[in-house]
Structure 1
Amino acid sequence: MGRGLKQSALMALVLAGMLQGARAAENGTTNYPAGSPGVFIGTMPPIPGLFAISQTSYTSANGLYDGQGNKLPINFKLSSVSETMRFLASYPGEFFGAHVYSQLVIPFVHLESSNPAGSFQANGLANITFSPVILRWALSPAQSVTVGLDLMPNTGTYSARQPLNVGTNYTTISPVVAYRYADPKGFEFAVSPRLLLNGTNTESVNAFTQLTQQYRSGDALVVDFNAGYNIGAWKLGVVGGYTHQYQDDKINGVKAFNLAGVQDGNRLKSLNFGPSLTYDGGAFQLNVNYQHTFHVENGSRGDTVWANLAFPIFVPAPPPGAGSPRR
């Protein structure tokens, strides 16, 4: 590809819009932001009831990077404000020794982007997440393993003719497992790998021809992690996430070009992490964390601040004579 054509491709893809900072796939966005669980990996309530986590985040991203991690000569800025509500239903009884849960995640997002083509905004509902069955086994008072299947249907706000979109216009299926070790008077550690098995955007529009195309975002592995130390009601630690896209993006079955004009499948690699502070108020938990993108390929570097509040919505009274819940 000649230099002039490469520059035209760069401009066309910028016009199409790069979303959500350091994430590859079509228009730079996926249905799952690495690092979003923060300190809540595997923190499932051991009693029946309905619980919620309010997650408010602000992201500022700038600079686009190629498949080798080199910054491209394109002026690019993006900011994102999101409010995500996570609802968790915890059921009585056990299934093969595991406590059973269901989850619903509803994210609302406001995006602003500026690049050589102009300034753009987008608002709306991003793809929701529904987890019909989550199973958690308590291995010991301090250790647990959790497995689940997250379904991210095509529910986000999307218009093929808009340069910036909140929704991705495809469905993702995400099997996930989590391990957590937690000493309430000492060290905590949790790790949660998951797969992102992505569908195809059948309404994608080619930036050159304006014709409809089939864009399939490549499948990826995401690993969320956290570590911390409890001091009374406070916990100091670190949270973050790693994304490795192991499958090519494809357009009409052909491997996609990245922003540098290289036909590498636009595969993303990114690592983001940062400090975290949590206060345990008994009936609620308040967490604030900051995450910086330290390395990215085929994406953008960003900084995100999270403010998270976990609280119960409804907890039924225990039956007469019931003892303390097993942890």
Structure 2
Amino acid sequence: MKSIFTRLLGAGLIASAIAVPARATENGQISYPFGVNTVLDGLLPPPGGTQFFNYSLFYSASKFADSNGHNAVPGFHSSVIGEAPRVAHTWGKTLGPFTISSSVIVPMLHLHLSTPSGTGNRTALGDIIFEPLMLGYATPSKTLFAYFSPSFAAPTGAYSVNRITNTGLNTYAFLPYLGVTWFPHPDWEISTVTLLEMNSPNHATQYHSGAVAVLDYLIGYSLNQRLQLGVQGTFLKQFTDDTQNGVKVGPDGFRGQAVAIGPQLRYMWGPASGVVVKYQHEFAVRNRPQGDKLWVQFSFPL
């Protein structure tokens, strides 16, 4: 089990947490890039270790679904190209049975949006994600790993109320989440991230996006020490209303929903270095864009 744990540790760090923000749920988007965390979600760097990650996202959507799943915006098209480097470090000291880690993620985005009211393109910095305290835990058998992070996003991204496209949200977002990885058998991996997102109001528009719950997951099988195949996906559900000037938006509060699923391939070229490629198709979408995502994620120790 020790050799299996060593080779999986680096791969697990490939997808701990990033954010590729577009805009708040006032335009069908949230801070958290739901679907990113599908690789050994409960693992962190070992004490004293530092890991570099890079997350690349290619997203395209030609439908903005309404509350019934129908296309609400004729001629709608949106695309996102995102690059987000991340550095995570685990400190040497522990807090009882828990390790202590910190992380920062700095996304760069290229956005395109076409609607009947106009077309916009923007390439700029996104909202930076800070994870100052990540508490990690592993069972003595090394078959169950978990960590909790009360992360948050700051409004560092480019934003103007008069622009069609913005790489920043113009809000603060509180993003507490729990990552868990379980090995029921040395060759099998079950990983999940459960996250809540709560945004501050956008004072430029007086719009306050509702709270969102997200579940990312993976069921993976290792063919050998280097190669893993898996099925992964995500589920998003908004559980409080959007409001503007204190009034609920629309009859349903513009509550968003999305489901996505697809295949995943992970390849390890070293004991703590690897790359993941995965595809996600969205369906059962409500009050947000509906499209397809391609992720390429890699990681190595510093």
TM value normalised by structure 1: 0.81
Which amino acid in the other structure matches residue 260 of structure 2?
N
- Counterpart-to-counterpart distance in 2, 1:235 and 1:69: 34
- Counterpart-to-counterpart distance in 2, 1:153 and 1:73: 30
Q: Which residue does 1:201 correspond to in 2?
A: 202
Alpha carbons of structure 1 residues 89 and 96: separation in structure 2 relative to 1, 3 Å: same
1:221 to 209, 213, 237: 213
Alpha carbons of structure 1 residues 191 and 304: separation in structure 2 relative to 1, 3 Å: same
Q: State the SS of the aligned residue for 1:133.
A: strand
2:288 to 299, 306, 315: 299
Q: Which residue does 1:108 correspond to in 2?
A: 108
Contact 2:118 2:164 in 1 (8 A): no
- 1:261-272 alignment runs, 5 A limit: 263-272=251-260
Q: Which residue does 1:309 correspond to in 2?
A: 298
TM value normalised by structure 2: 0.88
Contact 1:24 1:299 in 2 (8 A): no
Q: State the SS of the aligned residue for 1:195.
A: strand
- Counterpart-to-counterpart distance in 1, 2:38 and 2:161: 32
Which amino acid in the other structure matches residue 70 of structure 1?
H
Which amino acid in the other structure matches residue 264 of structure 1?
D
Q: Which residue does 1:38 correspond to in 2?
A: 38
1:185 is displaced (CA, Å) by 3.9
1:136 is displaced (CA, Å) by 1.0
Larger radius of gyration: 1
Q: State the SS of the aligned residue for 1:26.
A: helix
- Counterpart-to-counterpart distance in 1, 2:162 and 2:197: 26
* Greater CA drift, 165-174 or 33-42: 33-42
Which amino acid in the other structure matches residue 234 of structure 1?
L
- Counterpart-to-counterpart distance in 1, 2:185 and 2:273: 15
Q: State the SS of the aligned residue for 2:39.
A: helix
Q: State the SS of the aligned residue for 2:105.
A: strand
Q: Which residue does 2:273 correspond to in 1?
A: 284
Contact 2:263 2:280 in 1 (8 A): yes
1:219 is displaced (CA, Å) by 0.8
Q: Which residue does 1:260 correspond to in 2?
A: none
Please state if 1:62 is matched with 2:57.
no
- Counterpart-to-counterpart distance in 1, 2:293 and 2:234: 12
Task: Kindly report the root-mean-square deviation, in angstroms, between the aligned alpha carbons of the 2 structures.
Answer: 1.8
1:239 to 224, 232, 236: 232
Please state if 1:175 is matched with 2:176.
yes
Unaligned runs of 5+ in 1: 1-18, 205-213, 258-262, 314-327
2:245 to 239, 252, 255: 252
Q: State the SS of the aligned residue for 2:108.
A: strand
Q: Which residue does 1:324 correspond to in 2?
A: none
- Counterpart-to-counterpart distance in 1, 2:21 and 2:150: 24
Q: Which residue does 2:222 correspond to in 1?
A: 230
- Counterpart-to-counterpart distance in 1, 2:184 and 2:299: 19
- Counterpart-to-counterpart distance in 1, 2:24 and 2:34: 12
Contact 1:53 1:309 in 2 (8 A): yes
Q: State the SS of the aligned residue for 1:51.
A: strand
Output one character per residue of 1:40-68: Cα deviation in whole Å (capped at 9) or x when no partner. Answer: 42231224221111011110111111112
- Counterpart-to-counterpart distance in 2, 1:24 and 1:244: 14
Q: Which residue does 1:87 correspond to in 2?
A: 87
1:218 is displaced (CA, Å) by 0.5
Contact 2:21 2:168 in 1 (8 A): no
Matched positions, count: 280
